[in-house]
Amino acid sequence: MESHKMESQSSAMVVTMLIIAFLRTVLAKSIQAASIAFLSLMEGLSMKSSPEQEIETFDQLSAHWWETTGPMILLHKLNKLRVPLVVEGLIKAGKVDRKQRYTTDALKGLTVLDVGCGGGIYSEALAKLQATVVGIDPARHLVEVAKAHAEKQPDIKEHCHYYQQSLAEHWQGAVGKYDVVVLSETLEHVEDKSAMLKQVAAVLKPGGSVFISTWNRTRWSWALAVVVLENVMKRLPRGSHDYDKFISPEETEAILEGYGCRTLECRPFYLKFWENEWIWVPFNQTTYALHAIKE
């Protein structure tokens, strides 16, 4: 009896020791994997691209720009927020009749400049509402992609015009030309934001509107854009976002006001990154969309 009891205790001890050894091995491997992942992540977080490197990065993505489930999926998804924002904003500004809100020609007769147009995802959506859209971008391959894609669509090809230019190159020949300027996911890549917004104000007609969507300068923005979307989920090009280039809505509004543009609305939005969906939210911690009018 006593012998059987001791044998049972011995077996239990062996099993316990085996479990402990197993857990130690798992923990060691987990720590090793986490360390490698952390070092890799830190390498990614330390990357800062020059403007030329950023242009090259986006140029390399040009072949996949119009794959709706590809690397630019977040830009495709963003149209669900930014296009209605333009229509609603222009209704509030008295430039679009309220009855035109849901029509296919809501923007007919209006001229739009898309700064940093990329491969034309935003430009085409606005052109489908019958706006005349000029898209500019310094990335040559992206402009070629935008031109080729628009050319295949008879309903918009006469409404879309693309040029390989920066705003600094474009604005002097376009003073007071546009009813609308859009800067979507562009401002956070620019060093001299004041100069860019000054040029935006210059190309707008009196009473014209500018619509901006960009990243707020907060820790939450850094965590979402750089840590999660660039380095963990690989939804954004690695090294394409720099916290130092992010700008708060208060700063954006102040700069615009200095150039005669009054902010009508600032709406925060957020990425449900686990579903690849952008949604309007009541907290202003990550991204925001701003509408201002030139007075």
Q: Which residues contact 29 (CB under 8 A, 6 or more apart)?
A: none
Confirm whether residue 221 is marked as ligand binding: no
The Cβ-side half-sphere exposure at 55, using a 13 Å CA radius, reads 15
The residue type found at 10 is S
Position 81, amino acid: L
Gap between the Cα atoms of 127 and 159, Å rounded: 6
C-beta separation of 284 from 216 below 8 A: yes
Query: 88 among the known binding-site residues?
Result: no
User: Are the beta carbons of 116 and 140 closer than 8 angstroms?
Assistant: no
59 is in an annotated binding site: no
Q: Is 189 annotated as a binding residue?
A: yes
Non-local CB neighbours of 177 within 8 Å, separated by 6+ positions: 111, 113, 203, 205
Q: Among candidates 142, 158, 138, which has minimal Cα distance to 150?
A: 158
- C-alpha dihedral sign at 63, 45, 290, 267: positive
Sheet holding 111-115, edge to edge: 160-163, 132-136, 111-115, 178-184, 204-215, 287-294, 261-272, 277-280
Q: Does the annotation place 169 within a ligand binding site?
A: no
Question: Do the annotations mark residue 137 as ligand-binding?
Answer: yes
**Of 112, 247, 232, nearest in space to 186 by CA:** 247
**Distances 47 to 35, 230, 291 between C-alpha atoms, Å:** 19, 11, 32
Q: Is 124 annotated as a binding residue?
A: no
Annotated binding site for S-adenosyl-L-methionine: 82, 116, 137, 184
Give the annotated binding-site residues for Mg(2+).
Answer: 185, 188-189
In the annotated binding site, the residues are 82, 116, 137, 184-185, 188-189
